Chains A and B, each alone.
Chain A
Amino acid sequence: MTDSAAMTYLLALSDALAGESAQVRGDIVAGVREELEGLDAEQTAAKIAELGSPAFIAASAREEQAPVRVEPIVQPPEIGAPLPTAEPRWLSLVAAVLVMLGGVVLPVIGWVAGIVVMWTSKAWMRRQKLVVTLLPLSISVIVLAIAVLVEMWSGGVHGSGLEGFNNPLVPTIFDQIWVAIFVALFTGSATGLWLLATAKKD
């Protein structure tokens, strides 16, 4: 090999170090050039063989500068600081208000919307959500059942001569339906208030 072999090697080395900082690239190329200067062809070939390929030298430089892997340290939360949560606080507030007043503003639909939002929130336990969902429905069904029974009873007793006579002191079926609706609205509002009072704050 001749000086041109040394030049070729240095150019290839410089190219291989293209990704490194100018400081490191310059230092390495200059350091290798020192070793190749003034050598004859045979000595140059031997030195290049000893140095290794430009790609190997560049890989060594990259490896040396690779950052040391450090596991992130998870800091415990400060005492008294709120725990991180993925749920915004307004979600539980919206759910409680919808359950409380939704049925009044927009009958049935408003209350159902509140129930849906409540089930998406993590501010309450599953058991509490079940109570809020089923209580107004259950009470309404019970009130309606009582109304039907009363209507059947108030229809008169056979053989008493009072068939077809409606007792004015006994509410009609329509009165009972209104009562059931009122009870459902009242129960919905009460459970909404309960949700508001018991929502987890963090």
Chain B
Amino acid sequence: MTVDVATQLRKGVVEACILGLLERDPMYGWQLSETLVGQGMIASIGSLYPILSRLKAQQLVTSYEVSSDAGPTRKYYRLTAEGERHLDNFRQQWALFVPAVDTLVAPTTKDNTHD
């Protein structure tokens, strides 16, 4: 059941994590994939593109190609203005959500003096 909880938690926040990464700098697929896999947020690059596809459909991110003489032409992803608003909203919600959950799931200190 722990695995299910972790999966559900990841699915709930992974889109916001991608928006957070792209707010710092535009990134291409492999960069995003490496970072997210390294943090345990996605299983592989196969998980990344369906999420990016959803974010594009919601117009939260957009993509553009960058040619290079030194390497392959890469597709970069960056945040849109709507994506920035969405991320700000998530941060506000998250700031309230985390302490609320912490409070609710905090282990109770049982009084054992009567045992």
Contacts and interface: CB of A to CB of B under 8 A. Distances in A.
User: Which secondary structure dominates where chain A touches chain B?
Assistant: helix
B15 to A, nearest CB: 11
Given A34-B30, A68-B11, A63 B47 contact: yes
A31 B53 contact: no
Given A31-B29, A34-B30, A52-B44, A64 B72 contact: no
Nearest to B71: A38
A60 interface: yes
B51 A64 contact: yes
Contacts of A56: 43-44, 46
Interface residues of B, number: 23
Given A27-B49, A28-B49, A64 B42 contact: yes
Task: Please tell me the size bucket of the interface on A.
Answer: 20 to 34
A36 to B, nearest CB: 9
- Residue of A20, A61, A64, A68 with highest tally of chain B CB at under 10 A: A64
A34 B44 contact: no
Contacts of A24: 49-50, 53
A6 B50 CA distance: 23
Interface in A4-34: 17, 20, 23-24, 27-28, 30-34
Contact of A57 (B44, B51, B72): B44
A160 interface: no
B50 A61 contact: yes
A31 B42 CA distance: 16
A28 B46 contact: yes
Contacts of A20: 50
Given A31-B75, A34-B74, A38-B71, A61 B30 contact: no
B45 interface: yes
15 contacts: A20-B50, A24-B49, A24-B50, A24-B53, A28-B45, A31-B29, A31-B30, A31-B48, A34-B75, A37-B72, A57-B44, A60-B45, A60-B46, A64-B42, A64-B47
Given A20-B50, A27-B52, A68-B8, 14 more contacts: A27-B53, A31-B29, A31-B30, A31-B33, A34-B28, A34-B29, A34-B73, A35-B29, A51-B44, A60-B45, A61-B47, A63-B43, A64-B46, A64-B47
Interface of B: 8, 11, 28-30, 33, 42-53, 71-75
Of all A-B residue pairs in the complex, the 3 with the closest CB atoms, nearest first, are A60-B46, A57-B46, A31-B29
